[in-house]
Chains A and B, each alone.
Chain A
Amino acid sequence: MTEFFDSNPALQAAFQGGIAPFVVAVVVALALARTRFAWLAILAAYATQVALSTGFSFTPLSASRKILLLSLAAPVVGIAAYALESRGRTIAYALAALAGLAAVWVFLGILQQREGAAAWSIGIGIVAFAAALVAIVLSLRADAARASAAGVGLGLATGIIALMSASVGFMTAGISVAAGAGALLLVNAFRRAPPSPGFLGTLSIGLMIALFAEGTLMLAKLPWYALAALLLVPLAVRLPVRDDMAPVARAAILFAYAMLAALVPIAAVWIAPGS
């Protein structure tokens, strides 16, 4: 097995980022299917990818390691936020604002190396993007199919544009989120009343994807407007779809919305100058 992957780097990346995380996420989603903790499948998929590729390491605390730390913390914060569910909208805004501040913390070392005006404009941009993406994804917290479709679309789009922007690390990270969300979409597609993603599922998807995309912007070659295009994915899954449809059909339509929207950031990177 090891020798097989040693001579097939592309298959190794596919296994680390997609296949293994998907299998683990399906197991977690099935094991916890009757509880809201089924959405830990997103974390399980991402953690599997990390364990199989670079491993867990936090020193020195580089931007990539801060992203890892926050990605592991997001589900914990999401679970804690359930205690304040009665003030859901306020909590959602607060979490979005915190996501923006977290993005500054992650990339502070790089921003400090930039000139004044450039540092400010990039800093404001990453705050705005992280807060906006997290806010939009959090708004899907009552609908399992919409949230998981958004996770698949965002994860695939982020993974593909990361690969096109010279980052295999953020590619496999993005694909692992798609694998986790895909596992939930699949498992929940056959259930009439799947557990809602709540803050646990949506904060995990929103914060991870925001930081992976921003990491690709700051540490690789992603053009800034690809971030704006990524916002279309969670917006697309808010398009109308009948609630009384069969769960499988509804999931398929939302999946199609997400996939079509995911083509926009991919196309934006594809046609970017220098691509």
Chain B
Amino acid sequence: MPVLKRLSLAVLLAVPVAAHAAADTYAVDPMHSSVNFTVDHLGLTNIYGRFNKFTGTFSVDKAAKTGSLDASVDTVSVDTNENDKGSRARSRDEHLRSADFFNAAEFPKMTFKSSKVVFSGDNPTAVEGNLTLLGVTHPLTLNLERFKCNPAAGNAKERCGGVAVGKLKRSDFGMKRGVPNIGDEITLMLAFEGDKQ
């Protein structure tokens, strides 16, 4: 093989490896992370809820100003602190799991897959991506209210975390039951922490 061809091959193989090595990847630590949401109720107040089971990873390369945030949420784990139906026919959380809302039996996962991380200076400020819910995918931008990394110290690995907040219309995903008594606009909040892998 001519020297030039060998060199080209070596460069081609090396470039992706180098690029990959530059981005630090973090696995979301569920103990110190949460996926929360709020929705208006009757124009009177906000109902707050969360999902108790989720996984996720994120990466950041401050030098290249790139990154990612991917999350997968088990919709059956929806929890609005109202799972005891008492003498009623059903609890609110049971209703939220049904086909009227999250349809957890048919669509067990809600996912967010980032396409771009927006930086302001050296700091990531927003994550653009796609949210898939009820089999429907729509763009969603999560604004990073904060993002910070603590350096490795002793046995502890480098650890990063942040809070990402975005707004979506649930009717865009086909979740129309109860609108407008139960608000159409949902505020989604991902509070995440993770150790460098």
Contacts and interface: CB of A to CB of B under 8 A. Distances in A.
Interface of A: 6-7, 9, 12, 53-55, 57, 60, 62-64, 109-110, 113, 163-170, 215, 218-221, 275
Interface residues of B, number: 25
A219 B106 CA distance: 7
Given A62-B106, A62-B134, A219-B105, A168 B180 contact: no
Interface of B: 42-43, 89-91, 94-95, 97-100, 103, 105-108, 134-136, 174, 176-178, 180-181
14 contacts: A6-B180, A9-B178, A60-B134, A60-B135, A62-B106, A165-B90, A165-B98, A167-B99, A168-B100, A169-B98, A218-B106, A219-B106, A220-B94, A221-B90
B95 A62 contact: no
Contact of A169 (B106, B177, B180, B181): B177
Contacts of B89: 163-166, 275
Contacts of B180: 6
Nearest to A64: B99
Contact of B95 (A6, A53, A57, A168): A168
B106 A168 contact: no
Contacts of A170: 99
Contacts of B98: 165-167, 169, 219-221
A219 B42 contact: no
Contact of B105 (A55, A57, A218): A218
A164 B134 CA distance: 23
A163 B121 CA distance: 53
B174 A219 contact: no
